Structure 1
């Protein structure tokens, strides 16, 4: 068997030799370049699936088994803690842990494992059926049937959420592809502008009667507060009247006086309550316990604290892993810049929305749900504190979904059965296609997820052979060329050592 010399050491075929570049003799280089030109003209490359895809092993069956084994392990590690934490937060009973927890974990694990393993299976099948690789077959063509079959294995209750996520990711990927090709030009701070528009419409629906339902309404009620929800006759009683609240405060004050709790904390609390209560408040405002100024300030402090704590909690696991090796990094959990950025984003969003709503009530002397359009748009400017394309695209996708279902209820849009499975399959196929052909246009976090799911094998594809399609497939791989066994190759290329001797490495 021929061998190459890597850094002065003899390296046999079949063993992994990452980040190596082979130099062919001039005569073979001209043949190789000529063949690439012909392939580009035909928009098809005749290489085998071993030469392009599963370069770590020439067997299609063994390669699929490798992907399945790795994906199964990673999928279980992802879903086991996810379902366990969700069960704890939802306060599930003992019967759930004994009978339903493990089956649900295995159910979702099989879905994710199938999605990864069937991709390489259809990758090989299409190569054998087509006799080569077309620009669409190595990514989109292989991922489409794999994703469709996989989503059918997932529980129906989770398909909608997965579809929204992947549709959001696919939209972002398509936009980046269009920018790369010069079809569209990116708008400066475009994610902030889109967030402003999305927030404006969401807040209008929140203020409208029967505008939002379910989780979206509950989430906005938690963030904004019940004072901004639509006015109903039965809700006015639950909120209370100023007179009733004043009576309650007088009773509390009397109890405090009787118990003689004249501590510094009590005095401070009383002073703050007095400042909050005595101040400008429009008659249409429903924040009866606060004036308009303290109402906005309290909203900022509350959501700033929540955003800060959320970001801290997200950094705790990584901080614990570094506690013993790098203990000096532990304080960064609490003083990290991102903690304050997320807090400032959430806090300013709420305070700007509430402040604008109060101002419009003062100016127009009425409480109108149309105020939410202006207040929501201005509140969206808060994203300058925490720019996130992922958040913007997710909320925009949820808005499109909400408007579509409202259109179905109104009889204006048709209902398509199994639309979620079809959208998921197409969206995932787009993302897999980007991962194969132009990973530079894929969201970095999703690329890292694919590497984790495949144990790094997704990066071992021979993308230099795919460069002939003009997508710069190998741009982010620093000239990586896998070492292939010539016994299982079909076309001469610089990834294969020429017969009759060793090749020099440059």
Structure 2
């Protein structure tokens, strides 16, 4: 079927099929979005306040206003979409390929983001820009414009990790949260140093007086004699021997460990953190099933994803540290350029936990970081309110995909839109939108909304196939 330029149907026949009144439809969306938004932000802000150890004054005076502030933002974004959906239909007299999705979402998103606190606009913009980029890529693949690269998310993650680690090791490369996060993941031993050669810098820890060393050795020997036959003593002695008496380059700053144990400890630490994070994410759903399906509780601890995230984080750190140590041995120098190679090789760990979302988010953060560094250097211009504009455009792209080609939208975001609208986003009459050539009804085969004949045109009644009626 050749793609048409417009369709003459009403907003009731295409959009709010559950009610013929535009006002009532907007009220339904607003009511549902308000309820869901509050349920999302209330626990989110409460947990954030607890983790940040906010004082009592914050809970009494600021917590509720901030929750309501963000709730109004998300509610407005959802409700104004259906409002502009109807307004554009009445102004244009028909639906065009751009008006039913992008056109309606653009002004709605722009107005909504202006209601949100400025401190949160940047984070929301990064997330939506990341999501929009992924959506546009999927659209391009569907249309045959580009061909996906096998393991492309891993390659992009390797490049992103390489540049991030180089910035981490560079002078004034990273600041704020990004620097703190990498310091926590990688460790303070890899805090930026600049071209410290083994000949010019002696990084060995200071030696203790001989008398203290002798006394300490005697005490240790006595303890070892008393516990010589115990397994704990043997294990402890073995670990200490492995950690302290192995090879360590003079440029390496992990004074308490040799290079091998340094990498092994890094793997164990981040594997444990990744495993615990994934377990904690599954705890809420496990509690809900505690009484109905108690047999599923052990899956919280033995789930495959728990080990995958742990392996991803653990191997990333160990590969990075191992490569850095190896390069220090080979070049006899501690150079931030090592981070480019070590970061790229560490990115291979993404094979354990493939995630387009993580890759795209980090890539978006990298672009943001490079852009702001360019502004500081005077190489890039500064655009006021760029975050609000980017958010509006990015959200409009995602809403357009949700209307015209759901198959190209990230599934998790589609589920979020369904939750926000109480399932009403799925009630759009996408059979009518198929004439635009985007296969809008591809994931909704057989669905035909039950329309009120007194508000439906003769055209729509002849286009819609019989049967498959659905109610909200």
The normalised TM-score by structure 1 is 0.86
Q: Is the 8 A contact 1:55 1:461 kept in 2?
A: yes
Residues of 2 paired with 1:500 and 1:369: CA distance?
Answer: 66
What SS class does the counterpart of residue 43 from structure 1 fall into? coil
What's the CA shift for 1:487? 1.0
Deviation string, structure 1 residues 248-299 (Cα, Å, up to 9, x no partner): 9879959979999997546533431222000111111111110110011000
Deviation of 1:188 (Å): 0.3
Q: Which residue of 2 aligns with 1:86?
A: 48
Q: Partners in 2 of 1:307 and 1:447 — Cα distance?
A: 27
Q: Secondary structure at the match of 1:237?
A: coil
Q: Measure, in 1, the Cα distance between the counterparts of 2:319 and 2:53.
A: 35
Contact 2:450 2:469 in 1 (8 A): no
Partners of 1:219 and 1:444 lie apart in 2 by 28
Deviation sequence 1:102-154 (CA, Å, 0-9, x none): 00000000000000000000000000000010000000000000000000000
Aligned partners of 2:198 and 2:250 also within 8 Å:
no
Deviations 1:448-499 (A, max 9, x none): 0000000000000000000000000000012201011121123423478999
Aligned length: 467
Distance 1:48 1:244 in 2: 92
Q: In the superposition, relative to structure 1, how do residues 248 and 144 fare at CA in structure 2: closer, same or farther (>3 Å)?
A: farther
Confirm or deny: 8 A CA contact 1:486 1:497 kept in the other structure.
no
**Unpaired runs of at least 5, structure 2:** 204-208
1-structure distance, mates of 2:402, 2:181: 34
Deviation at 1:246, TM superposition (A): 8.0
Structure 1 223/498 Cα, relative in aligned 2: closer, same or farther at 3 Å?
closer
Contact 1:467-1:473 at 8 Å conserved across structures: yes
Residues 179-221 of structure 1 show CA distances to partners (whole Å, capped at 9, x for unaligned) of 0000000000000000000000000001111100000000000
Where does residue 433 of structure 1 map in the other structure? 400
Gaps of at least 5 residues in structure 1 are: 1-38
Residues 114 and 236 from structure 1, CA distance in 2 versus in 1: closer, same or farther, beyond 3 angstroms? farther
Equivalent pair of 1:312/1:333 in contact (CA under 8 Å): yes
Report the CA distance shift for 1:497/1:467 in structure 2 as closer, same or farther (over 3 A). Answer: closer
- Aligned mates of 1:199, 1:297 — CA distance in 2: 20
* Whole-angstrom distance in 2 between the partners of 1:500 and 1:230: 67
Residue 212 of structure 1 corresponds to 174
The 1:248–1:223 alpha-carbon spacing in structure 2 relative to 1, beyond 3 Å, is farther
For residue 445 of structure 2, the aligned residue among 475, 478, 481 is: 478
What is the aligned partner in structure 2 of residue 112 from structure 1?
A: 74
- The 2-side partners of 1:114 and 1:203 are apart by 39
Q: Residues 172, 61 of structure 1: CA spacing in aligned structure 2 closer, same or farther, 3 A cutoff?
A: same
Displacement of 1:240 after TM fit? 11
Residues in 2 aligned to 1:173 and 1:492: alpha-carbon distance in whole angstroms: 32
2: CA distance, partners of 1:69 / 1:104 = 19
Distance 2:416 2:201 in 1: 46
Distance 1:332 1:503 in 2: 36
Q: How many angstroms apart in 2 are the aligned matches of 1:245 and 1:358?
A: 31
Q: What CA distance in whole angstroms lies between the structure 2 residues aligned with 1:338 and 1:502?
A: 39
CA separation of 1:44 and 1:215: change in aligned 2, threshold 3 A = same
Q: In structure 2, what is the Cα distance between the partners aligned to 1:75 and 1:244? A: 67
1:504–1:284: structure 2 CA closer, same or farther, 3 Å change rule? Answer: closer
Calculate the aligned-residue CA RMSD, in Å.
Answer: 3.8
Query: For the structure 1 residues 384 and 41, does the alpha-carbon distance in structure 2 shift closer, same or farther, using more than 3 Å as the test?
Result: closer
Q: Which of 18, 42, 45 in structure 2 is aligned with 1:56?
A: 18
C-alpha change, 1:239 and 1:97, in structure 2 (3 Å) is: farther
CA 1:503–1:94: 2 relative to 1, 3 Å: closer
Distance 2:430 2:310 in 1: 42
Between stretches 89-98 and 489-498, larger displacement belongs to 489-498
Distance of 1:339 and 1:118 partners within structure 2: 40
Contact (CA 8 Å) 1:485, 1:496: kept in 2 or not? Answer: no
Which of 418, 425, 432 is the matching residue for 2:385? 418
Q: Distance in 2 between matches of 1:500 and 1:472?
A: 20
Residue 381 (structure 1) shift: 0.5
Q: 1:439 to 1:245 in 2, by over 3 A?
A: farther
Cα–Cα, structure 1 residues 497 and 472, in superposed 2: closer, same or farther, change >3 Å? closer
Shift of 1:233: 12
Secondary structure of 1:77's partner? Answer: helix
Q: CA deviation at 1:229?
A: 1.2
Equivalent-residue separation in structure 2 for 1:198 and 1:245 (angstroms): 48
CA 1:481–1:504: 2 relative to 1, 3 Å: closer
Distance 1:501 1:481, change over 3 A: closer
Residues in 2 aligned to 1:395 and 1:301: alpha-carbon distance in whole angstroms: 24
Shift of 1:385: 0.5
Query: Does 2:253 match 1:286?
Result: yes
